[in-house]
Structure 1
Amino acid sequence: MPFYQSPKKIGAFDAKFEAQKIAFAPITFQVARCLLKFNLLAIIDSHGKTGCTLQQITAQSELTEYAIGVLVDMGLSMGLLWHKGEHYHVDKIGHFLLHDKMAQINLNFVQDICYQGLYDLDESLKLGKPNGLKVFGDWQTIYPTLSELPENAKKSWFEFDHYYSDHAFPVLLPLIFKHRPAMIVDIGGNTGKWAFACTAFDTQVKVTIMDLPGQLNVAMANAVTHGVNDRVTGFECDLLDDSTPFYGGGDLYWMSQFLDCFSHEQILTILQRTAANMSKDSELCILETYWDRQPFEAGAYCVNATSLYFTAMANGNSRMYHSKEMLKLISQAGLYVDEDIDNIGLGHTLLRCKLKP
């Protein structure tokens, strides 16, 4: 039975403790970040099984003994560290916070993109607008302005986006090329990473990236760097503007971690426009992380948390969807799912769609 279809098996005392953890969650997040930023977890970890004293940590740190003391003591309460005698040791949770790439990327994304803006989550929920985005600028949505984000925020955003998609590439490429498409239309291609993976996998394929001007400029510059600007081209398009031309004639239309950036109504419009430009031999491949398709509860936790980034920071009206919602929209757009594959990469699902007869 999925984790969300039955009550949590937890006693009242532990449940009350979990409630207190939620109350202090912003503090524990910042403590974890500072333990990493000031290399305190790394210093303790470097001493191995013997651990190290507060004085030893202080000798290797830029912080005062007081500052280190309040951080490591909270680290004990958070389960990041354990303490025996005078020696601190890294516990299992601290180990993964220090060494797990996913944890680091998620933490940086939350800190650099989401943290300040989430203070206004309540207003975003009421208004249906990304009210938290004002911490970066007076923008309607985050997408046209990604290239204008502060460097640390831009780095964290793209690392977050690419980390999840990149893990799926090795499995996806053979699936995508089993029908030998000559022209792939990458809708919302961002910096072009998928386009370049395709051109490396198949030396004959051509890819057209459909995106907003800011992203296309970056992608086309990257195409030159990769030496494939003869096979990777750009097609400027605002998919929310019906008057904008839509690229027709693709053998395969590709949407990776893209439709979650839009509301139900917008997704339906985008799918309908795509279908209108497909031939009977074309196919549309949609790659998403649906929260109900995650193989582990931890995956669903991360995916559902990401929905609130869309609410507060990205556009105010999109989310990480339940797969049944997407399947319904695909059908309404005049398409059907010819192939449905779960557990690709880090919890991705591939939906291969075709025009209804």
Structure 2
Amino acid sequence: MKKEISAIDAKYEAQKIAFGPMYFQSVIALRDLGILEFINNNRKGVSISTIIEKLDVSEYGVELLIEAAEILGVVECFGDGMVKITKVGFFLLKDEMTKVNVNFMNDVCYLGAKAMTDSIRNGKPEGLKVLGDWPTIYEGLSILPEPAKKSWFDFDHYYSDGAFPSALKIVFSKKTGTIFDIGGNTGKWSFACCAYDPDVKIKILDLPVQLNVAKQNAAEKGLTDRIEFYPINLLDTEQKIPQGADVIWMSQFLDCFSKEEIVCILKNAYQAASAETRLFILEPFFNNQNYPAAHFSLVATSLYFTIMANGNSKMYSIDVMKSLVDEAGFEVIETYPLIGDSYHTILECRKKA
């Protein structure tokens, strides 16, 4: 049970929420103006007057941002006018997860976040309008404006790539001739499979606009003879996943859909699977994390799905996903928690007997 805080502390915490957007953008300005990097490069401390002298930023701007950074614990200020970076500031600059998350929030989500209420009310990603005119972000991924496009893919790949080495060992622990990569995106998983096993054949199933990117990437890697491309909109229940897969792979895919849609997609996979087909679901379940920073980030990612992605999906708990798997006619035969250097769990599933 959490300890009850005082009214004074509670009021302070409320102000953090009230002014949160302003403080977030002050950190962006500190970074983009080079102030935070300059302070970091002077680990023993640097004077505010030196920052003003060396950087093309006004005295007003430097003092304003340093005051905000001190409140946030990003820098530490001393009575003699010296400033030092803190561990929080260092992580903002150098920690890969933090950098990816900051860029994703700033470039993809920030302007659309004001549409949170309308997105929840309407069940649509109303904030997406700031990036483009698509019903969901997935139709526009390959043509997102920069820097949103780079930040989106950096975010997506960061939270999947760390799982791939261990995931490959799990998938290929048994002879695997053909893999269906559902929602294959840019093809990174399929390419990793081809590098791991010279004999495996891949079929990437995704929206046509996404397949165009995967095709181009496969051509550049000389893999078009081993990878097929199958255009499909899995929200259209008339479009069926074909049969013939030894493995059906879904990496960070099902969190892009509502519970009802997940069941429909899994039932589609059920009709395509044989009794021997292995279905693998790779997801960063928010309640299956080792560190509070990961849990915190994953719950925030659910809010991105609301305002920017599709208006009805989220990051799920492992228990909810297992119940949806069961509802669709599969059973989880093995759980691989937090595999490799990642935040992910793999659920290995088979059709119920």
Q: TM-score, normalised on structure 2?
A: 0.97
CA drift at 1:62 = 2.1
Unaligned runs of 5+ in 2: none
Q: Does 1:58 align with 2:52?
A: yes
Quickly say closer, same or farther: Cα 1:70–1:267, change in 2 above 3 A: same
2:64 to 67, 70, 73: 70
Aligned counterpart, 2:275: 280
Aligned partner of 1:210: which letter?
L
The aligned residue for residue 187 of structure 1 is 182
- What residue is the counterpart of 1:3 in the other structure? none
- Give the match's secondary structure for 2:338: strand
Q: Residue 28 of structure 1 aligns with which residue?
A: 23
Counterpart position of 1:136: 131
| 1:348 counterpart = 2:344 | yes
Q: Within the alignment, does 1:37 sit opposite 2:38 as a pair?
A: no
Asked if the contact 2:39/2:85 (under 8 Å) is kept, the reply is yes
Q: Is the 8 A contact 1:43 1:60 kept in 2?
A: no
Q: Which amino acid aligns with 2:259?
A: H
CA deviation vs aligned residue, 1:120-139 (integer Å, no higher than 9, x gap)? 10111111111111112222
Mapped to 2, the partners of 1:231 and 1:247 lie a distance apart of 17
- Report 1:265-304 matches (<5 A): 265-304=260-299
The structural deviation recorded for 1:47 is: 1.2
Q: Describe the SS at the equivalent of 1:223.
A: helix
Stretch deviating more after TM superposition (304-313 or 145-154): 145-154
CA distance in 2 between counterparts of 1:135 and 1:292 reads 31
Give the distance between the partners of 1:180 and 1:19, measured in 2 at CA: 56
Secondary structure of 1:151's counterpart equals coil
Is 1:258 the counterpart of 2:256? The answer is no
**C-alpha distance in 2 between matches for 1:10 and 1:185:** 52
CA distance in structure 1 between the aligned counterparts of 2:106 and 2:17, rounded to whole angstroms: 17
Q: Tell me by how many angstroms 1:15 deviates.
A: 3.3
Q: CA RMSD in A?
A: 1.2
**Percent pairwise identity:** 46
On the 8 A contact 2:257/2:312 being kept in 1, the answer is yes
Match runs of 1:76-155 below 5 Å: 76-84=70-78, 85-155=80-150
Once residues 251 and 286 of structure 2 are traced to their aligned partners in structure 1, the CA distance between those partners, rounded to angstroms, is 16
Q: Which amino acid aligns with 1:26?
A: P
* 1:169 maps to which of 161, 164, 170: 164
Offset at 1:17? 2.0
Distance 1:70 1:168, change over 3 A: same
> 1:335 aligns to what?
330
> Matches of 1:82 and 1:223 in 2, distance apart?
49
